[in-house]
Structure 1
Amino acid sequence: MSTFEKIFVDISVVLGGQTMPIHQLLRMGRGAVIELDSHADDDVQILANDVPVARGQVVLKGEHIGISITEVLLRRPDVRPQVAVKKL
C-alpha cells in the first residue's frame, strides 16, 4: 500500500463553461456572476489530471456539496498510459 500513497492525482469537476473577452473578465469585481452554458440538472465532467474519467451529478447534503458518479468513461487500450512494473 505504501507505493500508492506516493501517487498524486488532481481531480477536477467541470460544471459548465463560458467564453468571454479578457477585458470583460478583468472588469469583473468581487461577487460577480458568470453564467455557465449548462443547467443545474446537467451532468458534470470529472477529470483526473486533466483527462476525462467519469460523469456525475451534483449532490447537496445539508451545507455540503458532493458529486455522485453516474458513468465511468472507459479509454481505448491504445490511449491508456503505459505503466512499467518492476518486480522485486
Structure 2
Amino acid sequence: MVRLRIRRATWPRPALILTDTPTPTCPDCNGEGGHNHDYGDYETGEYAGTEWEPCHCWDETRRWTVLPLPRLPRPRQTSTDPWGSDEPPF
C-alpha cells in the first residue's frame, strides 16, 4: 500500500514533491522507516558513525515533483563590514 504525502524539497531545486511514507503499523520498524546501526572502529572500539538501513515497508526513492518552486533572490549586502560606517551607533 502506498501512503503519499506532500513535502517541500530543497535539492536539487526547490519544489513541492509527492513522496511515499513508511507504514505506521510495520512490526519491523514501528513506522519509522528503518533502523540506525552504530558502528565502531575495529582496532580501538571507539564510536565511528551511524548507518541507516531502510525498512522494506517503504521506498524512500519513490517521489514525484508536483510543483517546482522559484528560487528567491538573496538580499545584497552593500558593505562587508557592518561597523565600517563613520556614523555614531546612536
TM range (shorter): under 0.3
Give the TM-score normalised by the residue count of structure 2: 0.27
Give the TM-score normalised by the residue count of structure 1: 0.27
Structure number with the bigger relative contact order (C-alpha 8 A, sep ≥ 6) is 2
Q: Give the structure with the larger helix fraction.
A: 1
